[in-house]
Amino acid sequence: MVASEYNPRWVDGLVESVKAELAVLAPDAEIALYRVPGAFEIPVVVQEVALRGGVEAVIALGVIIQGATAHADLVGRSVTDALQTIALKTRTPVIHEVLLVENEAQAEKRTTGEGLNRGTEAARAAVRVLETVRALRR
């Protein structure tokens, strides 16, 4: 996992949800966590992790809250485009859960609790895409 340090309350919720779900779905998985200052820094570390070798998937986690300017949209688009490019160039699945939300209430709803938890969904997506990729590479 590569996770932002910014908005720690919600990003930490994502990280813990990923860990908990992977403990159930893939108990033998080796999980490493790399922290970066903010969402904009996530792609460069995702790329380094993907290029290391021996890494089957990377989960990118962050929370960007919309403000009064277009900054959040610009960061969100940049991160999204970069993560997709990294996944395709390195042939490493990258699960994108760098959330762009309108407010703290949306962040809370998507990162904590059991309802719409994007960390749980990220873990499930990682396991599922790895099953598909492994089958295709056999």
Q: What is the predicted pLDDT for the residue at 115? A: 77
3-state helix, strand, coil in the chain (%, to 5): 55, 15, 25
Active site amino acids: 71
Q: What is the predicted pLDDT for the residue at 116? A: 81
pTM listed for this prediction: 0.95
Q: What is the predicted pLDDT for the residue at 7? A: 96
- Domain ranges (residues) in the chain: 2-137
Residues 76-108 have pLDDT tens digits of: 999 999 999 999 999 999 999 999 999 999 999
What CATH number labels 2-137?
3.40.50.960
Q: In whole angstroms, give the CA distance from residue 94 to residue 47.
A: 10
SS3 for 49-73 is HHHCCCCCCEEEEEEEECCCCCHHH
Q: In whole angstroms, give the CA distance from residue 95 to residue 86.
A: 11
DSSP H helix total and E strand total for the chain: 5, 4
Q: What is the predicted pLDDT for the residue at 112? A: 87
